[in-house]
C-alpha cells in the first residue's frame, strides 16, 4: 500500500515525500482511512510505529478545507486538540504537525509547562486550528481565559497510558468537560490496562480498535543482554562498556532524578561526556541536554523514565538500563528507544542481586529469557559513591513512581554558575564535577531539617531591619 492509496491530498503527499517516507506504516494504513471517515479510534501502538503521522496526517486532511490565510483570530478557532503527557512529546508532536502540514495554511501551536506562558498566550490569541498541549498547562490557559475549546472537533489523547500513570486523569476530565459533546476522539496508548479501557469506554463512540506490533518488535532487532554485577561496580562496568565497545551514543536509564544527576556527574569525572535529563531540570536545560546528545557532544544521556518518554532519536544504537525499572512495561518503553528505523540496537541491563525480581517480571512480559552474562572484573567499588549505590531510603520511595508534576515549572535545579574547568560543564552551565546542590528555595526530601534548638542564627536586630540582608537572601 502507498500513501496515494490512502487518498491523501496532494499537499500531504508532498509533505510525506519531503520526509522521505516511502510507504505508510501498518498503523498509518489502518488509522488514516478510519480517521478520514470521521470514526473514533482506539489504537494500541508505541512510539516508533509511526503513530504520530497516523493521526496527524488525517487530522490535517480533515481540517484542510477550513484552512485560510485570514489574519482574523476568529477565522482560526481551535478545531483539533492533541493532549500528550510530557513536554518532550509535546514538542515532538508539534514538530510533526508543522512538518506534515507545511504545504497547508493551517496554524498549530504547542503549550506545555516549565516555560513562559506569554508567547503561548500570544500564539493562542492569534488563533490556531491545531493545539498540542500537556494537560496542566492547558488548564492554566483555560483559567486565564487565553484558550477557547468550544469549537474542538477532534480530540487526540496520545500516550494515554502514561497520562494516567502520571495522575492526569482529573485534568483530563476537566478538559473533556470543556469540549463540545459532538466530536471525534482518537486514543493512542502503548498498553491497555483496565483503567485505559474505562477511559476509552467513557469517551469513545463505536471506535475502531487498532493494534499493531512495533515496527521493530523488540525481539526482532534489539539484542538484549543482562550483566550480573554488584551495585557498587555498575559505574565502572558502564564506563568499561562505553570504552571497550567504542560507544559514541548511549541512553542510560536510572529510576530517580537525583541519581540521573549523580551518575552524569560521576561519568564526567571518569572522563566520559555525559549529561542528564529529568523532570527537575528546566525546559531549556532539558532541550539543551537532548540537543547535545543528538549532536554527539555528549556520549551519554542519563534519563529517568518520564523524561525519556517520547524522545525520538534516529538510530540510537545502545540503551543501558543502569537500574532495572520498577514496572516491566517501562523496560519495553526504554528499549523502544533503540532498534528503530530498521537499524539494529542493543539493550544492556546492569542487574544487581536486588533486581532479580524485576528481571523476572520483564521476562514474563516479554515471554522470553534474556541471556545473562557475567560482568568482567572491572573497577573497584568506589570509595565515595556508596551513597549512590545504597538502597533507597524510605523517604525516597515517593520518587519511584512517575509524578504528575512533570510538566510543572522546575524549581530545584537552578544551578549556580561557577568557574570550573570546561570539560566538566555541560552547555547549560551545569557542572557535573560538583556535588548536587538544591537551591535554597527547593523543598526536597533529602534536605537537612532545620535545627530545632540552639541559638537563633540571625540576631533579632535583623528581623527589625537593623542588619543588612545576607547575600543569599537577595537572590
Interacting positions 14-33 with ligand AMP (CB under 6 A) = 21, 24-25, 28
What separation in angstroms does the CA of 225 have from each of 86, 242, 258, 372, 444?
29, 15, 26, 6, 35
- Segment lying near ligand AMP (by CB under 6 A), choices 45-53, 157-165, 392-400, 444-452: 45-53
Residue 471 contacts by C-beta under 8 Å, 6 or more apart in sequence? none
Residue 101 touches ligand AMP, criterion: CB under 6 A: no
| Contact between 294 and ligand AMP per CB under 6 A | no
Place of cell 459533546: 181
Q: Minimum distance between the CB of residue 338 and ligand AMP, rounded to whole angstroms?
A: 13
86, 158 contact by CB (below 8 A)? no
Q: Which is nearer to ligand AMP, 214 or 224 (CB)?
A: 214
For 339, phi then psi, to 5°, come to 65, 30
Which CB, 43 or 324, lies closer to ligand AMP?
43
With the CA atoms of 314, 320, 324 and 327 taken in that order, what torsion angle do they form, in degrees rounded to the nearest 10?
10
| DSSP states of 217-272 | -HHHHEEEEEEE--GGGHHHHHHHHHHHTT-S-EEEE-SSHHHHHHHHHHHHHTT-
Measured at the alpha carbon of residue 136, what is the angle toward residues 130 and 140, in degrees to the nearest 5?
80
Residue 189 contacts ligand AMP per CB under 6 A: no
Looking at the Cβ atoms of 50 and 127, the one nearer to ligand AMP is 50
Say if residues 40 and 204 touch (Cβ distance below 8 Å): yes
Q: Restricting to residues 384-413, name those near ligand AMP by CB under 6 A.
A: none
The rounded distance, in Å, linking the Cα atoms of 380 and 232 is: 8
CA pair distance 211, 213, nearest whole angstrom: 7
Q: How far is CA 327 from the centre of its chain?
A: 17
Taking the complex as a whole, the smallest distance from the CB of residue 340 to ligand AMP amounts, in Å, to: 7
Q: How far is the CB of 265 from ligand AMP (least distance, A)?
A: 31
Residue 53 lies near ligand AMP (rule: CB under 6 A): yes
Q: Which is nearer to ligand AMP, 47 or 261 (CB)?
A: 47
Residue 51 makes contact with ligand AMP by CB under 6 A: yes
Instruction: Find the shortest distance in angstroms from Cβ 14 to ligand AMP.
Output: 14
Phi, psi of 402 (to 5 degrees): -55, 145
* By the rule CB under 6 A, 50 interacts with ligand AMP: yes
Grid coordinates representing 175 are 478538559
Among 32, 34, 42, 48, binds ligand AMP (CB under 6 A): 48
Q: DSSP characters for 98-125?
A: HHHTTTS---EEEE-TTS-SHHHHHHHH
Using the contact rule CB under 6 A, the part of the chain among 49-57, 134-142, 290-298, 458-466 near ligand AMP is 49-57
Interface size with ligand AMP, residues (CB under 6 A) = 12
What are the φ and ψ backbone dihedral angles of 41, each rounded to 5 degrees?
Answer: -135, 140
The minimum distance between CB 287 and ligand AMP, in angstroms, equals 18
- Residue closer to ligand AMP by CB (options 1, 219) is 1
Measured from the CB atom, is 199 or 311 closer to ligand AMP? 311
Among 47, 120, 261, 304, binds ligand AMP (CB under 6 A): 47
Taking CB under 6 A as the rule, does residue 52 contact ligand AMP? Answer: yes
- Is 345 a binding residue for ligand AMP by CB under 6 A? The answer is no
- The residue ranges that bind ligand AMP (CB under 6 A) are 21, 24-25, 28, 47-53, 312
Amino acid at each position: 500500500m502507498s500513501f496515494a492509496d490512502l487518498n491523501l491530498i496532494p499537499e500531504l503527499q508532498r509533505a510525506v515525500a519531503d520526509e522521505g517516507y516511502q510507504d505508510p506504516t501498518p498503523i498509518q494504513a489502518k488509522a488514516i482511512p478510519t480517521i478520514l471517515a470521521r470514526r473514533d479510534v482506539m489504537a494500541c501502538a508505541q512510539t516508533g510505529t509511526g503513530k504520530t503521522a497516523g493521526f496527524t496526517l488525517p487530522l490535517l486532511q480533515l481540517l484542510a478545507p477550513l484552512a485560510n490565510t485570514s489574519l482574523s483570530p476568529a477565522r482560526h478557532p481551535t478545531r483539533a486538540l492533541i493532549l500528550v503527557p510530557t513536554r518532550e512529546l509535546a514538542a515532538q508532536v508539534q514538530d510533526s504537525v508543522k512538518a506534515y502540514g507545511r504545504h497547508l495554511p493551517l496554524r498549530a501551536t504547542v503549550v506545555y509547562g516549565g516555560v513562559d506562558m506569554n508567547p503561548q498566550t500570544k500564539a493562542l490569541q492569534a488563533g490556531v486550528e491545531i493545539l498540542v498541549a500537556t494537560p496542566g498547562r492547558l488548564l492554566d490557559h483555560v483559567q486565564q481565559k487565553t484558550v477557547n475549546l468550544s469549537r474542538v472537533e477532534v480530540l487526540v489523547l496520545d500516550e494515554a497510558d502514561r497520562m494516567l500513570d502520571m495522575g492526569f486523569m482529573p485534568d483530563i476530565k476537566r478538559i473533556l468537560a470543556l469540549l463540545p459533546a459532538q466530536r471525534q476522539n482518537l486514543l493512542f496508548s502503548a498498553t491497555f490496562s483496565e483503567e485505559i479501557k474505562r477511559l476509552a469506554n467513557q469517551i469513545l463512540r463505536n471506535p475502531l480498535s487498532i493494534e499493531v506490533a512495533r515496527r521493530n518488535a523488540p525481539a526482532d532487532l534489539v539484542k538484549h543482554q543482562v550483566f550480573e554485577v554488584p551495585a557498587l561496580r555498575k559505574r565502572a562496568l558502564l564506563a568499561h562498556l562505553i570504552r571497550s565497545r567504542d560507544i559514541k551514543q548511549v541512553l542510560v536509564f536510572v529510576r530517580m532524578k537525583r541519581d540521573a544527576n549523580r551518575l552524569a556527574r560521576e561519568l564526567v569525572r571518569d572522563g566520559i561526556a555525559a549529561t542528564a535529563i529529568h523532570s527537575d531540570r528546566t525546559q531549556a536545560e532539558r532541550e539543551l541536554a537532548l540537543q547535545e546528545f543528538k549532536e554527539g557532544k555528549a556520549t551519554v544521556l542519563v534519563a529517568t523514565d518520564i523524561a525519556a518518554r517520547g524522545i525520538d532519536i534516529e538510530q540510537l544504537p545502545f540503551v543501558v538500563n543502569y537500574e532495572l525499572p520498577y514496572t516491566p512495561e517501562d523496560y519495553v518503553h526504554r528499549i523502544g528507544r533503540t532498534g528503530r528505523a530498521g537499524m539494529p540496537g542493543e539493550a544492556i541491563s546492569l542487574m544487581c542481586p536486588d533486581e532479580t525480581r524485576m528481571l523476572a517480571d520483564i521476562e514474563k512480559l516479554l515471554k522470553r529469557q534474556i541471556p545473562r552474562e557475567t560482568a568482567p572484573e572491572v573497577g573497584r567499588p568506589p570509595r565515595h559513591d556508596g551513597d549512590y549505590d545504597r538502597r533507597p531510603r524510605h523517604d525516597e520511595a515517593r520518587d519511584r513512581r512517575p509524578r504528575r508534576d512533570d510538566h510543572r515549572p522546575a524549581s530545584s535545579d537552578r544551578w549556580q554558575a561557577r568557574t570550573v574547568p570546561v570539560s566538566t560543564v555541560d552547555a547549560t552551565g551545569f557542572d557535573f564535577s560538583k556535588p548536587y546542590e538544591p537551591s535554597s528555595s527547593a523543598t526536597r526530601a533529602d534536605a537537612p531539617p532545620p535545627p530545632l534548638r540552639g541559638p537563633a542564627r540571625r540576631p533579632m536586630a535583623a528581623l527589625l531591619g537593623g542588619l543588612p540582608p545576607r547575600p543569599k537572601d537577595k537572590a
